[in-house]
Amino acid sequence: MKINMKQAIDFVCKNGNILEKARLDVILGRKKPVKSVIRMIANLQNKDGGFPYNMEKGKPSTISDTTVALIWLNDLKMLDSDIGKKAIKHLISLQKENGSWDENPEISSYNPPVWMIPGDKKTIVYDTTYSAFWLGISGHRESLSFKKAYNFLIEYQNESGRFEGFLHSTRIGASVIAMVEDWESDRVRTAIKYLDDVDSDKWVASQISWMLWCFVIADGPKDNSFVRKMLQELIKRQRKNGDFASEDGDEFAVNATLEAIKVILLYEK
């Protein structure tokens, strides 16, 4: 079974916004990001280096929105730009003494979604896995910040391999642990075994893409049985018009499709 790549690309080209189309162009190697897109991202970035809640200029920076912007920058091959460096520096500045991260308490008045509730243990573990992931892939694996995050996270992984809280934390956390240990370590193997045991019907396409992207960016294996299985699960979730579903709803189908294209191309290399 193979993805209909042309149909997926056509869906993004037809329905995507200027940023999504720019990301697609760079992912496909067609051209560099246009200056207007770079200016748009730079203009959105807050003075502290983070990105605002719900990407609405003037609102306080959040960890969640900053990591979304880092995905944009990575897709545009701009993670090492001034914008990207400021965003990573912002994440490092937010780390707690115990190695964890937590969402900005200023966003509580906006009624944030469940994964962004400040002070909630599930949010803390999720924010820590994803912040540590970005530190790891941006050249900070030897830093004290990354090591402290690793030490925090291993305390929140149980014997089954699952990290406390959202399943997303296990999907991302496996990559973080592998950056310190390796992909054959007990902690990583048990995390993957836990994910492998999750009923396939419970996976949404965007979740599969996100997990597989985290794996491959963290130098994970491309040919083990779980990765092969999940790639096939992703491909068979392509819908009739070429798009892929997002766990956040159909309004995010373009982004989900873009992520699927990106991941499949990475695994084909």
Mean pLDDT check: name the lowest of 31-40, 101-110, 137-146, 172-181: 31-40
pLDDT at 116: 98
- Residue 1: pLDDT band (50, 70, 90) is confident
pTM here is 0.96
DSSP-assigned states of every residue in the chain: ----HHHHHHHHHHH--HHHHHHHHHHTTS-PPPHHHHHHHHHHS-TTS-EEGGG-TTSPEEHHHHHHHHHHHHHTT-TTSHHHHHHHHHHHHH--TTS-----GGGGGG---GGG-TT-HHHHHHHHHHHHHHHHHTT-TTSHHHHHHHHHHGGGB-TTSPBSS-HHHHHHHHHHHHHHS-TTSHHHHHHHHHHHTS-GGG--HHHHHHHHHHHHHTT--SSSHHHHHHHHHHHHT--TTS----TT-GGGHHHHHHHHHHHHHHHH-
pLDDT at 31: 83
Tell me the percentage of the chain whose pLDDT exceeds 90. Answer: 95
Over residues 131-138, the mean pLDDT reads 98
